[in-house]
Amino acid sequence: MKFFIDTAEIDEIKSLSELGLVDGVTTNPSLIYKSGQDFKKVIKEISSIIEGPISAEVTSKDSGEMIAQGKELAKIAKNIVVKVPLTKDGLIACKLLSSNNIKVNVTLCFSSSQALLAGKLGASYISPFIGRLDDISSVGLNLIKEIVDIYNLYKNDIKTEVLAASIRSPLQVSQVASMGAHVATIPPKIIYQMINHPLTDAGLETFMNDWKKTGQKF
């Protein structure tokens, strides 16, 4: 499973990239706002750091404007993926942009039927938001399994990758991986939480103390 990181913070991207844990990056208007940076400038900078897909989101509800913005975003770098919402206008934009060889990430997916539509229209990625479903007492992980199962049934026709989004814990990362998600987009803090484990720390402390007791030097 590929790891995308969900951030527009350049320092976070550089740090995790040095660890070799970044296959791509996803951004959205909220993350751009939090970063306090110019949208196009930060997307260009991210694309110069990471060779993998960089999702940059359109900022309109109108299909014509989405298409125009998508074409402009695609010119920033060859690894840009245009992010559009799963609405009627978003699907219109998805079809046209995809037919022009521009990769599209259809975001804000909350049902397998929505995912089927995006798959039929040539989306490169579908982004189901599992955390937000959990917030309204639905089981977000079930959606990942449903979409993966449907796409697998029609894998000769649907090439869309399932990009699990709105991940809230390290456990959810391993769960979406076990369900066959192609990609997980993960907040940087979750990746660092995945690295740490109290038993690892305790075991390492024991080994270091015992090494000191040997009186040896490496």
pLDDT tens readout for residues 33-72: 999 999 999 999 999 999 999 999 999 999 999 999 999 9
pLDDT in tens, 190-218: 999 999 999 999 999 999 999 999 999 98
pLDDT for the residue numbered 218: 86
What is the amino acid identity at position 58? V
Rounded Cα distance between 89 and 87, Å, is: 5
pTM summary value: 0.94
3-state secondary structure of 37: coil
Residue-range domain boundaries for the chain: 2-214
User: What integer best gives the mean pLDDT of the chain?
Assistant: 96
CA distance 208 to 72: 55
Tokens for 206?
């024991």
Tell me which fold the domain 2-214 belongs to.
TIM Barrel (3.20.20)
Percentage of the chain beyond pLDDT 90 is: 98
Distance, CA of 132 to CA of 83 (rounded, Å): 18
**pLDDT above 90 for 74:** yes
Largest Cα–Cα separation, the chain = 73
List, by residue number, the catalytic residues. Answer: 83
